Amino acid sequence: MATARVEQPARVEQPARSPGAERATPEALAQDGALAQDGARGWVMVGALFVCSTLVFGLIRSLGAFFVEFVQYFQESAQAISWITSIGVATQQLCSPLGTALCNAYDTQRVVMAGGFLASLGLILASQARSLPHLYLTMGLTSGLGWSLVFTPMVATVMAHFTRRRTLALGVGFTGVGVSSFVFAPLFQYILDNFGWRGSLLILGGLSLNIVPCGALIRPTRKKAPPPPKAGGKADNGGGASAFRSLLRRVYRYLELSLLAHGPFLTYTLAITFFNAGYFVPYVHLVAHSRQAGYSEYRAAFVMSATGAADIVGRVAAGWLTDLGRARLIHMLTGWTGLTGVFIVLMPLASVAGSYSLLLGFGLGYGFCAGALTSLVFAGVPEIVGMGRMVGALGLLSMLESVGGLLGPPLSGYLRDRTGSYITSLVVAGCCFLLGSLILTALPHYFSWTAPPPPRPPDGDGQEERQDAGAGLLGSPTSGSTNGTASKDSDHSQTCLA
Amino acid sequence: MLHPGVKLCAQLLLLSLSWGGTHSTGGPGSTLPPVVCGPPLSSDVRSVVFKGESQVEEVQVVRPLTLALECTWTGSQDRPHNISGFWRKDGSELADSRRPVLLENQQYNLRQAFSITDEEGLGNYSCVFDNQAEVDFILAAPRVGEVRDRPIVSYVGDSVVLQCKMEDTKPRPNSWTWYRANGTNKELLDPEPDSPRYHIHNQEGKTKLTVRNLTEADSGAYYCGAVYDIGVTLSRVDLRVITFLEPLKPFLVIVGEVLVLVSLILLYERTKAHGTHPGTDNIWNPRPPGTPDHLGPRPPGTQTTWDPDHLGPRPPGTQTTWDPRPPGTPDHLGLRPPETQTTWDPDHREPQTTWDPDHLPPGTPDHLGPQTTWDPDHLGPRVLDLSEGYTHTTWDPDHLGPQTTWDPRPPGTQTTWDPDHLGPQTTWDPDHL
């Protein structure tokens, strides 16, 4: 990693030093397209990601304020009402590959704008609901689909805009989730008190519409028509069957299904799935566990708030720390996840020992490390699958890791019911993190100080388009369109070394 | 006078503890005949032992009963043998209740039985020792604990469910009633079973009032009453009915803000995109539709240099200069006499027959192939008297004469390179301009 980094600046910064004269050459344009985006444009995208994560995940987390209202209006059980958010979250995660496939096929700007419109439409239609299934369809499916078209493409866009500061950018962008849960809780209560749940859903729909300007900030790419079929490439000559087959091939390529056979990607996804299984358990069970251990409601809630604040700080700090480049991202990720597991295991032991300050301390540590790992999880993807397949990889990763998120909390709830206390469930959650860290060490080239060579896409066919897709997220009109293959490879390799 | 709801029994009644059940007219050790104060009531006792200055005890009363309240006080610093104690209800001392209290086993004891028959018997009873210490017994029927402090907001035309639930730890009311606030009065809500608007559904310990087809007049305070034998306790629920216009206003403000932002952003992107970039494909802006990017493959054998020496395969032995001119040819060819041809080929003295820009036979293609003549006469726009009408030539590398028009160019267009004015250039290359 050190040697590669030393070479890089000398090679790349040359064009930047004399921008006027060198700008016109194709090589400089290629590198310019990747490097210069570390600048103002990229940070604008970070701001857009901040707003989007606020309006997607911050909103989802704060929907609990509607719970009581729905129970009273529809006179349904708590379980039936909680299906609304479950459907929404599940749709968002399962449709992530669809979002990234649409980005590969069409313009990211349009996809995100459409997603924002869909999410807000779902909430607006939900305000007219007269029955619970109506809410499942609107707040659950429609908004969930909209959110899936927004979140992963925004993350992919931010990652494409940064090279050296990628993790920090992601960390800053993701702080939106934490900040908004502090802001939305009182805000939602206020609008619920004044407008009831119908008016509140309408206003939330309007708020969600703010995703559309964030999407508009993404510079549109001028996607060229697919290149003419090369010899030996897609066989487009005549006939409906081969047109269908070429459509299937395009779908296969857009969804990056080739990644399902990619060993390192599957290893990484398995580790992230374990992290996801353990991630939400402390949020759900910690307050109840503290109450059970005898602490007052106020003290337990304070531990949670402190954890949330540490989470926000952890995201930014870990992002900055990773981009210093002292250690490889994958090593730092292992460190953060291992620490998270350790803190989760220690938390119930602290409350059993009866020390509130220890519990608070471990809670802060857990919050910090949990936030830290969220910044790194996505930033580690290009190192494993390469810049060209990054977009699809993000979608597939989101979808597959959701399995952990769906199974984890019910499993810990089951453990709690069986044993009668939260200690077992929290310890198991901590072990999920430790197990995931171990799985990470199984990645290729793990035990080396320098980063591995960037992975090559599986076949030469469509290589240009995939690199177009990766570079096309940058939105500059000349990226990838006028350059020869040599300069494209240089672009490809330098952006892989996160 | 005694408070109407309280009858002070002449004798103390010591009782058994059955909370909710049977009558008991005497206890162990009681030698006095039972004195029944009024109709047979169930009975209960509450006793409190305390040390300090005051204490509060809440007593739930569900049905009329005889309640014995007992206070035992350990006394203050000095314990006089004889102090006075009395009972208070709702702040005012009960007549005939003041009596001397003797110190027994280092304690003072006050005991009194009260007959609670109706709602007015409930209240705040206090036993007072010597104006120094007291215990407040708050007698009340069970109230609904979870009271929603904020109004329920609903919409015109919508339906709403107002509900009251008595906690499982408290005794269940016999039934429920609903009231609606009307000024300062509360009027009973008693809908017919098939009333379209109101519907009351009572369950065990729960009651729900459903109001359909809400109007703004339905706003206000509603009271659910838990009916016990002793009385009714009310719990208040506020309803506020608004029209959909109310949330619509902030919604429209937000939508307007979004539209403004989106337009600004898209406008900004569009103005940025219209600037020229070096290296873009737009060479000729705006280019008329149909104009090719490249002017096509050069006909074989032609050159791009405008070199009067190399206008094609020159026959050997000829000169490279423009001279000698055919005799009689003027230096400045001026306006051509009408009906004459315009070709004047320094290399070929005889008038050419390959092409005459003034008289192009119909069907002549634009690109006439490797021409070797250049016509200094052709100084003006091409005469458009061709049968085909509008000829379409972009440039003809062989037409080396100074053209002043370049058909078909729409007015006001730019050219970065002008094939007409090749001037002192010796090379022009349509690929690199």
Q: Are A413 and A323 in contact (CB under 8 A)?
A: no
How open is the CA angle B1-B3-B6, to the nearest 5 degrees? 125
Q: Looking at the complex, does the CB of residue A349 fall below 8 Å from at least one CB of chain B?
A: no
Once rounded to an integer, what is the mean pLDDT over residues B357-380? Answer: 52
For residue B238, pLDDT over 70 is answered with yes
Nearest residue of B to residue A21, measured between CA atoms: B278
Which has the closest alpha carbon to A410: A427, A387, A429, A423? Answer: A429
Q: Determine the average pLDDT of the residues in B366-380.
A: 48
Residues of chain A neighbouring B269 (CB-CB closer than 8 A): 216, 219-220
Using CA coordinates, name the residue in chain A closest to B253: A206
| A195/B contact by beta carbon, under 8 A | yes
Other beta carbons within 10 Å of B63: 16
Q: A434 or B412: whose pLDDT is higher?
A: A434
Closest chain B CA to residue A190: B150
Q: Which is higher by pLDDT, A452 or A40?
A: A40
Residue of B26 and A67 predicted with greater confidence: A67
State which amino acid sits at residue B180. Answer: R
Partners of residue A478 in chain B, C-beta under 8 Å = 277, 279-280
Quote the percentage of chain B above a pLDDT of 90: 7
Please tell me the least confidently modeled range out of A56-65, A277-286, A447-456: A447-456
Per-residue pLDDT tens over the stretch B125-134 = 888 887 778 8
Specify the amino acid at residue B301: G
Lowest-confidence pick of A444-453, A486-495, B320-329, B341-350: A486-495
Round to whole Å and give the CA distance between A458 and A386: 11
Pick among B242, B255, B258 to test the A interface (most A CBs inside 10 A): B258
Least CB–CB distance from B247: residue in A72, A202, A482: A202
With beta carbons less than 8 A apart as the criterion, state whether A99 and A154 touch: no
- Contact yes or no for B242 and A482 at CB 8 A: no
Q: Do the Cβ atoms of B230 and B64 come closer than 8 Å?
A: yes
Percent of chain A with pLDDT over 90: 26
Q: With cut-offs at 50, 70 and 90, classify the pLDDT of residue B262.
A: very high
Written as six digits, the tokens of B362 are: 């119909």
pLDDT at A138 over 60: yes
For residue A2, what pLDDT is reported? 37
Inter-CA distances, A8 with A3, A5, A491, A497, Å? 9, 5, 11, 10
Q: Which long-range contacts (CB under 8 A, 24 or more apart) does A7-10 make?
A: A8/A494, A8/A497
Is A212 in the B-facing interface, judged by CB distances under 8 Å? yes
Write the residue in A198, A206, A216 that is nearest to B266 by C-beta. A216
Which residues of chain B neighbour A213 with C-beta distances below 8 Å? 258, 261-262, 265
Most confidently predicted of A80-89, A249-258, B393-402: A80-89
Mean pLDDT throughout A251-275?
84
List phi, psi (to 5°) of A69: -60, -45
Beta carbons of A283 and A371 less than 8 angstroms apart = no
Chain segment A347-393, per-residue pLDDT in tens: 888 877 878 888 888 889 999 999 999 889 988 888 888 887 888 88
Q: Is pLDDT of A394 > 50?
A: yes
Look up residue B232 and give its amino acid: V
Q: What is the pLDDT of residue B324?
A: 54
Between A452 and B250, whose confidence is greater?
A: B250
Q: In whole angstroms, give the CA distance from residue B368 to residue B371.
A: 7
How far apart are the two ends of chain A, measured CA to CA in Å? 9
User: What length does chain A have?
Assistant: 498
Distance from CA of B250 to the nearest CA of A (A): 7
User: How far is Cα A142 from Cα A128, in angstroms, rounded to an integer?
Assistant: 14
The region of weakest confidence among B166-175, B261-270, B302-311, B383-392 is B383-392
For residue B262, which residues of chain A lie inside 8 Å, CB to CB?
A: 212-213, 216
pLDDT at A14: 36
Q: What are phi and psi of B160, to 5 degrees?
A: -140, 150
User: Which residues in chain B touch residue A224, judged by CB atoms under 8 angstroms apart?
Assistant: none
pLDDT, residue A339, reads: 92
| HEC string for chain B | CCCCCCCCCCCCCCCCCCCCCCCCCCCCCCCCCCCCCCCCCEEEEEEEEECCCEEEEEEECCCCEEEEEEEEECCCCCCCCEEEEEEEECCEECCCCCEEEECECCEEEEEEEEEECCHHHCEEEEEEECCCEEEEEEEECCCCCCCCCCCEEEECCCCEEEEEECCCCCCCCCEEEEEEEECCEEEEECCCCCCCCEEEEEECCEEEEEECCCCHHHCEEEEEEEECCCCEEEEEEEEEEECCHHHHHHHHHHHHHHHHHHHHHHHHHHHHHCCCCCCCCCCCCCCCCCCCCCCCCCCCCCCCECCCCCCCCCCCCCCCCCCCCCCCCCCCCCCCCCCCCCCCCCCCCCCCCCCCCCCCCCCCCCCCCCCCCCCCCCCCCCCCCCCCCCCCCCCCCCCCCCCCCCCCCCCCCCCCCCCCCCCCCCECCCCCC
| Residue B404 reports pLDDT greater than 60 | no
Q: What is the full DSSP assignment across A411-451? A: HHHHHHHHHSSSHHHHHHHHHHHHHHHHHHTTSTTTT-SSP
Q: Where are the beta strands (DSSP E) in A26-86?
A: none
The pLDDT of residue B357: 56
Q: Report the pLDDT averaged over residues A272-278.
A: 89
Q: Is residue B25's pLDDT more than 80? A: no
Question: Strand B42-50 vs strand B92-93: parallel, antiparallel, or unpaired?
Answer: unpaired
> What is the per-residue pLDDT for B384?
44
Q: Which amino acid is at A287?
A: V
Top pLDDT among B7 and B157 is at: B157
- How far does the CA of residue A209 sit from the closest CA of chain B (Å)? 7
Lowest mean per-residue pLDDT among A105-114, B117-126, B245-254: B117-126
Class of residue B389 by CB neighbours under 10 A (exposed 0-12, middle 13-18, buried 19+): exposed
CB nearest to B161's CB, from A75, A193, A200: A75
Q: For residue A338, what pLDDT band results from cuts at 50, 70 and 90?
A: very high
Residue B250 or A233, more confident: B250
Higher per-residue pLDDT: A404 or A316: A316
Q: Of A447 and A174, which is predicted with more confidence?
A: A174
- For residue B181, the cross-strand partners are B186
Q: Would you place residue B410 in the very low, low, confident or very high pLDDT band (cuts 50, 70, 90)?
A: low
Question: Which of A131, A210, A219 would you mutate first to test chain B, the one with the most B CBs within 10 A?
Answer: A210
- pLDDT average, residue stretch B95-114: 81
Interface contact A29-B154, CB threshold 8 A: no
Q: Are B379 and B402 in contact (CB under 8 A)?
A: yes
Check CB contact under 8 Å for B158 and A198: yes
Pairing of β B54-60 and β B133-140: parallel
Residue A192: list chain B partners with CB under 8 A. Answer: 153
pLDDT of residue B102: 79
- List pLDDT tens digits, range A46-87: 999 999 999 998 888 888 788 888 888 888 887 788 888 888
CB contact under 8 A, A75 and B278: no
Exposure of B40 in the CB half-sphere (CA atoms within 13 A): 7
Average pLDDT over residues A241-270: 81
Give Cβ neighbours of residue A223 (< 8 Å, ≥ 6 apart).
A106, A107, A468, A472
Pairing type for strands B185-189 and B175-182 reads antiparallel
Tell me the C-alpha distance between B114 and B3, whole Å: 11
Q: HSE of B157 in the Cβ direction (CA atoms, 13 Å)?
A: 5
Looking at residue B154, its pLDDT comes to 92
CB contact under 8 Å between A210 and B258, yes or no, is: yes
pLDDT by residue (tens digit) across B1-21? 334 434 444 333 333 332 323
Query: Crossing angle of helices A2-17/A26-35, nearest 10°?
Result: 120
**A486/chain B closest Cα distance in angstroms:** 19
Q: Decide which of B108 and B375 is more confident.
A: B108
Burial (Cβ within 10 Å: 0-12, 13-18, ≥19) of residue A275: buried
Structural contact between residues B388 and B363, judged by C-beta atoms closer than 8 angstroms: yes
CA distance B162 to B222: 9
State pLDDT tens for residues A201-235.
Answer: 999 999 999 999 999 998 876 554 444 444 444 44
Binding-face residues of A in 153-192 toward B, CB within 8 A: 192
Task: Output the 3-class SS for A224-246.
Answer: CCCCCCCCCCCCCCCCHHHHHHH
Quick one: which of B148, B144, B123, B127 has its CA closest to B136? B127
- pLDDT for A41: 84
Show residues of chain A in contact with B203, CB under 8 Å: none
Residue B326 has a pLDDT of 65
Q: Is the pLDDT higher at B299 or at B98?
A: B98
On the CB side of B351, how many CA atoms lie within 13 Å of its CA? Answer: 8
Distance CA A167, CA A171 (A): 6
Question: Smallest Cβ distance to B154: which of A24, A193, A196?
Answer: A196
Whether residues A206 and B254 touch (CB distance < 8 A) is answered with yes
Closest in B150, B208, B251 to A206, CB measured: B251
Q: Mean pLDDT lowest for which of A209-213, B108-112, B141-145, B409-413? A: B409-413
User: At A257, is the pLDDT very low, low, confident or very high (cuts 50, 70, 90)?
Assistant: confident
Yes or no: say if A152 and A99 are a contact pair by the CB < 8 Å rule.
yes
User: B45-84 pLDDT, tens per residue?
Assistant: 877 777 777 888 888 888 888 888 888 888 777 777 788 8
CB A60 within 8 A of CB A146: no
pLDDT for the residue numbered B155? 92
Contacts of A214 (CB under 8 A, 6+ apart): A48, A49, A51, A52, A112, A116, A154
Which among B163, B209, B216, B269 is the top mutation candidate for probing chain A, defined by the most A β-carbons within 10 Å of its own β-carbon?
A: B269
Lowest mean pLDDT of A195-209, A395-409, B363-377, name the range. Answer: B363-377
Helices then strands, counting H and E runs in chain A, come out as 23, 0
Reply yes or no on whether the pLDDT at A314 is more than 50. yes
Q: What percent of chain B shows pLDDT beyond 70?
A: 54
Label residue B252 by pLDDT band (50, 70, 90).
Answer: very high
Residue-wise over A376-404: b if at least 16 C-beta within 10 A, else e?
Answer: bbbbbbbbbbbbbbbbbbbbbbbbbbbeb
CB-based burial, A180-212: b 16+ in 10 Å, e otherwise: bbeebeebbeebbebbbbbbbbbbbbbbbbbbb
Q: Name the pLDDT band for B330 (thresholds 50, 70, 90).
A: low
Kindly determine whether residue A24 and residue B279, on different chains, have CB atoms separated by under 8 Å: yes
Q: Supply the pLDDT for residue B271.
A: 84
Distance from the Cα of B410 to chain A's closest Cα (Å) equals: 28
Mutate to test the interface with B, among A68, A202, A481 (most CBs of B within 10 A): A202
Considering just the CA atoms, what is the radius of gyration of chain B in Å? 57
Torsion sign, CA atoms A168, A169, A174, A179: positive
Model confidence at A42: pLDDT above 60? yes
Give the burial string for B271-293 (b: 16+ CB within 10 Å, else e).
Answer: eeeeeeeeeeeeeeeebeeeeee
What tokens appear for A89 in the block? 């979250």
